[in-house]
Amino acid sequence: MPYFDAASSLPLHPVARQALLAALDEGWADPARLHREGRRARLLLDAAREAAAEAVGCRPDELSFTSSGTRALHIGIAGALAGRRRVGRRLVVSAVEHSAVLHAARAHEADGGVVEEVPVDRTGRVGVDGFGAALRGDTALACLQSANHEVGTEQPVAEVAELCAEAGVPLLVDAAQSLGWGPVAGGWSLLAAGAHKWGGPGGVGLLAVRKGVRFAPPSPADERESGRSPGFADLPAIVAAAASLRAVRAEAADEAARLRALVDRIRARVPELVPDVEVVGDPVRRLPHVVTFSCLYVDGEALLHALDRAGFSVSSGSSCTSDTLTPSHVLRAMGVLSEGNIRVSLPPGTTEEDVDAFLAVLPDAVRRVRAHLDAPAVPPRSGSGPEPVRAAEPAAGPAPEEDAEAPSLTVDSLGKRCPIPVIELAKVIDRVPVGGTVVLLADDEAARLDVPAWCEMRGHEYLGADGHTHRVRRRA
Amino acid sequence: MPYFDAASSLPLHPVARQALLAALDEGWADPARLHREGRRARLLLDAAREAAAEAVGCRPDELSFTSSGTRALHIGIAGALAGRRRVGRRLVVSAVEHSAVLHAARAHEADGGVVEEVPVDRTGRVGVDGFGAALRGDTALACLQSANHEVGTEQPVAEVAELCAEAGVPLLVDAAQSLGWGPVAGGWSLLAAGAHKWGGPGGVGLLAVRKGVRFAPPSPADERESGRSPGFADLPAIVAAAASLRAVRAEAADEAARLRALVDRIRARVPELVPDVEVVGDPVRRLPHVVTFSCLYVDGEALLHALDRAGFSVSSGSSCTSDTLTPSHVLRAMGVLSEGNIRVSLPPGTTEEDVDAFLAVLPDAVRRVRAHLDAPAVPPRSGSGPEPVRAAEPAAGPAPEEDAEAPSLTVDSLGKRCPIPVIELAKVIDRVPVGGTVVLLADDEAARLDVPAWCEMRGHEYLGADGHTHRVRRRA
């Protein structure tokens, strides 16, 4: 039963399991104690730290183990901001960072700090120039992920690190998604990651802070892990995490090449097999194992369950699959379709047969969800193959205000959830003449993203939204 | 090889190991995910939460798993203080709480809050009336441990909880040392503990927050564990922790009775076997498995290593065994001797033979350390058996200022570490006549505690300290 949600969490690597079992007998005592059992535990901890530091590319005394990648980010951001408080209180982050970074940024704002989000392009990649422009004299810290967790796009970390070094701003890299594939290139100052992404156990993260980086560990004080991670850790899990990181690194080059080809296959085949799909993320500068696409007129949760029933575990950034009923902030920042969103992330060992089996069940799963939603028929293809979606031409005609005489029609989708508002819009667009306007009333958060995305896919003109009122002009 | 440091950490309970291994295959996925692997993980997490809640005596939705007992305390204290910020910013704690509580209190002070420490008596027990008097209209939170981690003394939690309820102040109980022995009686509002104290893995804690208690989870936000514990947890470890808690509870009554008798044996025999020993902590209202004593003229670290070489792993609250070279704050708050301090905490399964073997090696170990330090000879016993140390009678004679004519002698122990200043004091006391004064210059932190304690043990009069200058009057 293929599990295609590797970017969320991986099963324990066999080497991690072995290391965990071996460490259970010697790794339960407090490594801070002076007695025999404490010293044995300390030896295990030191060895794990050395192994992890070597894989990260830092000194062992620069690396602290934390209780998760999220905690490593929270501690790293708070500690670096506090350490440079005299410089200023500005925090620069990309708009597509992991929610752990953005939540830490919100906490910084609530505490009186200033946060600047650097936008990304349609592939999810941050602009180097844009990032550099955000660095100012009062910037205390900059954060950039090594690669995006939802769409797989690699970020220009080395280039951004150079700009940060020139500006004297420390750069914290969230390496959660990439550390298993290799060390992060470039002159980062802090680095965070979590072990369950590379086949280690949950409950283990790491935070590296380069010597010379000003860092004030967040309160309360604690004597463990250089004061950076309070509490009695799960040492066997740390040992397993370090062992697993070494093991996946040994396999990384071969496995990356293999999975990259499988992802290329999915990227090429999905738009051929499923009409009205947008494959998102950078097709080349990306993680080897992640591919994400969105399906027009599809309820992401329904598709996820359909795939689950067919034996495939994937994840989704659609609003209907989130607790807050808002689409993924990553898709929002990219400005791409969020409805029917599916992320496929292949674990090491995925076979071509697994992928082909997925490609075999996907079209029917999408078709059934669309039929259940009574989605509009798909327009005939004009070309032979799928074309990348292009941004709509800027409206050349008169401004909407001046077009008040054109025929208009209002659709009330208030209270309806994604993808219903877009489906209702699609069903009526032909009832106004070309140049006419459909006014869509929709209070679902996803509409803000999906109505413009639909307009781009269908070649209509999005005239903008005022509150819950979206205006769309029909084009030929 | 007997391990007598159970109060620090226990080896994994066989049931915990079994549960851990069983959960490795199903507990690695993200329990927040909608797919098959996520749902399986969620089932495990829900079952662990139910089991732990039952053992704690709370509802499952009142219990969050954290990454350690320390984290549970940090989060519990910060969250309760933030939730009641409008009421006031006063935090009441006992003077002998775990350092995790006191560090959180220091962080609260640094943030502008007020902390009041309630003193303890010579057994380490907080006074119910004293605790009640500290509760005021602006008290946001009170913290009291169920039992002390260094000397084993049980605290009057149920009585204090009643006073807290009357005052409308939530009570957070640090149940780290007692939760394996039974639920905490009384109307607590919040409760924290860590699994490695009851034979669960490290890296797992729990925080219970009763419904109706105002609580604002510390930032940054996170969707896991009711927003109270950010990050991807080690689910197999959580499963093992819950299984272990149930298992030790099933054995608790029998094992407590057995260990209680063994500790009684140590409490009785140590003062018979070793001269100049002070056994501390409440002899009756105490944890079943913990006993602590201090040996005059002994370097705690040297004794700890001597016992370690003899095969016994214990811990020490002496200043020489701490990173900060200060004696344990618990011994300080109790006002008892800190030099040569040894805590023996028996794990389940400890046999009478283990204890007798310890009692067989202890006297010689102490004698060797004393000989190495060239400690003064022990005065002949006056009675047949050991007597509890009693506080010196208040000075009946004239105040020191009026006694300036009495012969005086100065000993310079500046720069010397515990127990050297006390040894040097003991060596010269006979060189002044009764009524004469020894002025001891000592900048070691432990001298503040150990010089008065020595005076009490030897029947001399401690005249107080001014900076690093201690004054002792010789009595008969």
Which tens digits make up the pLDDT trace of A176-203?
999 999 999 999 999 999 999 999 999 9
Question: pLDDT at position A367, please?
Answer: 97
Compute the nearest-CA separation of B69 from chain A (Å): 7
By DSSP bridging, strand A277-280 and strand A290-295 are antiparallel
Amino acid making up residue A174: D
Cβ contact A100–B220 (<8 Å): yes
B405-473 shares the fold of B14-248: no
By CB atoms closer than 10 A (0-12, 13-18, 19+), residue B176 is buried
| CB-CB neighbors (< 8 A) of B202 in chain A | 28, 232-237
Nearest residue on chain B to A323, alpha-carbon basis: B223
Q: In percent, how much of chain A has pLDDT > 70?
A: 94
- Taking a C-beta distance cutoff of 8 angstroms, is the pair A437, A464 a contact? no
| DSSP secondary structure, A155-211, as one string | P-HHHHHHHHHHHT--EEEE-TTTTTT-PPPS--SEEEEEGGGTT--TT-EEEEE-T
Residue among A9, A35, A103 minimizing CB distance to B232: A9
Residue among A103, A221, A313 minimizing CB distance to B221: A103
B436 to A221, A459, B461: CA distances (angstroms): 45, 103, 10
Compute the nearest-CA separation of B391 from chain A (Å): 33
Question: pLDDT at position B476, please?
Answer: 76
A269-278: per-residue pLDDT in tens?
999 999 999 9
Domain locations along chain A: 14-223+230-248, 252-372, 402-473
From CA B133, how far away is CA B131, in angstroms rounded? 5
Compute the nearest-CA separation of B356 from chain A (Å): 20
- Taking a C-beta distance cutoff of 8 angstroms, is the pair B156, B338 a contact? no
pLDDT over 50 at A383, yes or no: no
* Tokens 């925080």 found at: B207
* DSSP one-letter code for A376: P
Tell me how far apart the terminal alpha carbons of chain B are, to the nearest angstrom.
Answer: 45
B415-453: per-residue pLDDT in tens?
999 999 999 999 999 999 999 999 999 999 999 999 999
Q: Of the residues A143, A164, A295, A320, which is catalytic?
A: A320
Average pLDDT on A157-164 reads 98
Q: Answer yes or no: CATH 3.20.20.70 is held by domain B14-248.
A: no
CATH of A14-223+230-248, one of 3.40.640.10, 3.20.20.140, 3.40.50.2000, 3.40.50.300: 3.40.640.10
Our CA dihedral for B93, B96, B97, B102, rounded to 10 degrees, sits at: 70
Question: pLDDT at position B374, please?
Answer: 92
From CA B64, how far away is CA B79, in angstroms rounded? 13
Nearest residue on chain B to A3, alpha-carbon basis: B37
Within B282-376, residue ranges assigned H as helices are 300-309, 329-334, 352-372
What is the layout of strands, in order, in the sheet containing B205-209? B63-66, B205-209, B190-194, B171-174, B139-145, B90-94, B114-118
CATH of B405-473, one of 3.40.50.300, 3.30.110.40, 3.30.200.20, 3.30.70.980: 3.30.110.40
Residue segments in chain B with a per-residue pLDDT below the cut of 70: 378-404
| DSSP secondary structure, B364-400, as one string | HHHHHHHHHTTPPPPPPPSSSS-----PPPPP-S--G
A323-339: per-residue pLDDT in tens?
778 899 999 999 999 99
Nearest residue on chain A to B105, alpha-carbon basis: A220
Question: pLDDT at position B1, please?
Answer: 75
From CA A316, how far away is CA A301, in angstroms rounded? 7
| CB-CB neighbors (< 8 A) of B75 in chain A | none
Question: pLDDT at position A384, please?
Answer: 43
User: Residue B89 corresponds to which tokens in the numbers above?
Assistant: 């910013």
Active site residue B58: no
Question: pLDDT at position A389, please?
Answer: 41
Q: Answer yes or no: CATH 3.30.420.40 is held by domain A402-473.
A: no
Residue among A9, A233, A321 minimizing CB distance to B28: A9
- Give the residues across from B471 on adjacent strands: B439, B464
From CA A321, how far away is CA A327, in angstroms rounded? 8
B123-158: per-residue pLDDT in tens?
999 999 999 999 999 999 999 999 999 999 999 999
* DSSP one-letter code for A102: H
CATH fold group of domain A252-372: Aspartate Aminotransferase, domain 1 (3.90.1150)
Question: pLDDT at position A60, please?
Answer: 98
Question: pLDDT at position A438, please?
Answer: 96
Question: pLDDT at position A380, please?
Answer: 53
Compute the nearest-CA separation of B23 from chain A (Å): 11
Band of the pLDDT at A262, cuts 50, 70, 90? very high
Least confident of A94-108, A143-157, B21-35, B369-383: B369-383
Residue B421: asked if its preceding bond is cis (omega within 30°), the reply is: no
